[in-house]
Amino acid sequence: MTKHMNEYRIAALLLTTVLVAACDKNTVQVLPADSLLASRVKFFNFGVNAPGVNFYSDAIKMTAIQSGTGSEATTGVGYGSVGNGGAYSQIAPGSHTLTGRIAATTDKDLSIATVTATIADGKFYSYYMCGFYNTTAKISDAFVLEDTYPVEIDWSVALVRFVHTIPNASPLTLYATNTLTHDTLPVGGAVAYKSGGAFTALPPGVYDLFARYTDSTTNKVTRTGVSLFPGRVYTVGARGDITITSTTATNRPFLDNTTNR
């Protein structure tokens, strides 16, 4: 009798756990252990003055921030941050509506940046929420790029791509100066807003980075002491407001360096 009662209690506990998990709308979808979706997407919140968001693919929540209590925090992925700690999220191939939705209690889950993108099997992508957040219309720009770096690793170089998300800046060209050899190399060509350049091979080392307009020798955005390691792949994203001259303002022009691999 005791054995049967214990079995019933275990079964009831398992059923309760499943029901609670099914009813929790704040959890990010967890794929089964045997799920090996080959496509990936990375999410950036580079929308100037934008609120913290959770990122979605259709109705599936792809990113969220956990609070100290174990429930979902209302902060979401804040400005200047990358979802899931900079890691890629698995996504099924096909057409998807990718959105950034407000994480705060006010306007909770309101979509403020939407892109429809076709995800190819086995490809990697980056979604950027960008531009100036319109506090009246509650909307921000967004775009998606394919991350077209080689599968095979070349351990003699680092690969770097430049992405432009500054809405009030003209096309920018990124340059990298090796702090040891003082060689200055362009990282691809000029890149317009809501666009990205090709991945460019650079010798491993420590670099000072700067971005300029195509017709100027003036640095519009700078960042010093960036380490580029052999065999790694990086995306340098320009974000912020190009008119800000403060060196400490949150929305100042800034070069973000995120590892793709």
The mean pLDDT value of the chain amounts to 88
Check residue 70 and give its pLDDT.
63
* Predicted pLDDT at 74: 87
| Band of residue 36 on the pLDDT scale cut at 50, 70, 90 | low
Q: What share of the chain is helix, strand, coil (3-state, %, to 5)?
A: 10, 45, 45
Which one is predicted more confidently, 246 or 17? 246
Has domain 37-147 been given CATH number 2.60.40?
yes
Element (H or E) spanning 15, and its range?
helix 2-23
Q: What is the pLDDT of residue 66?
A: 64
What is the distance between the alpha carbons of residues 114 and 99, in angstroms, rounded to a whole number? 4
Over residues 21-46, the mean pLDDT reads: 62
- Right CATH for 150-261 from 2.60.40.2890, 2.40.110.10, 1.10.1200.10, 3.40.50.300: 2.60.40.2890
Q: pLDDT for 164-209, tens place per residue?
A: 999 999 999 999 999 999 999 999 999 999 999 999 999 999 999 9
Tokens of 195: 């666009």
Q: Strand 53-57 and strand 254-259: pairing?
A: unpaired
Confidence (pLDDT) at 24: 37
pLDDT confidence of residue 25: 39
- Amino acid (1-letter code) at residue 93: P
**Nearest to 93, CA basis, from 129, 138, 123, 60:** 123
Q: Which residue has the tokens 């191939």?
A: 93
Read off the pLDDT band of 68 (50, 70, 90): low
How would you classify residue 177: left for phi > 0, otherwise alpha for psi between -120 and 50, otherwise beta?
beta
Whose CA is closest to 255, among 159, 153, 163, 157?
163
Please report the pLDDT score of residue 37 as a whole number: 76
Distance CA 124, CA 167 (A): 24
Q: Considering only 32-36, 77-81, 191-195, 251-255, which range has the smallest mean pLDDT?
A: 32-36
CA nearest neighbour of 129 among 106, 97, 98, 154: 98
Residue type at 252 in one-letter notation: R
Query: Which residue has tokens 């190399």?
Result: 185
Q: What is the pLDDT of residue 69?
A: 64
Question: Is 90 exceeded by the pLDDT of residue 72?
Answer: no
User: Which whole-number Å values give the CA distances from 18 to 15, 107, 113, 164, 216, in the listed order?
Assistant: 5, 29, 33, 44, 61
Query: What global pTM score does this model have?
Result: 0.85
Listed residue (62, 53, 60, 27) closest to 109, CA to CA: 53
Characterize the bridge pairing of strands 254-259 and 39-45: unpaired
* Coil, helix or strand at residue 248: coil
Residue 64 has pLDDT above 70, yes or no: yes
Listed residue (182, 169, 178) closest to 218, CA to CA = 169
Tens of pLDDT, residues 80-114: 999 999 999 999 999 999 999 999 999 999 999 99
CATH 2.60.40.2890 range(s) for the chain read 150-261
- Higher-confidence residue: 4 or 18? 4
Q: What is the DSSP letter of 8?
A: H
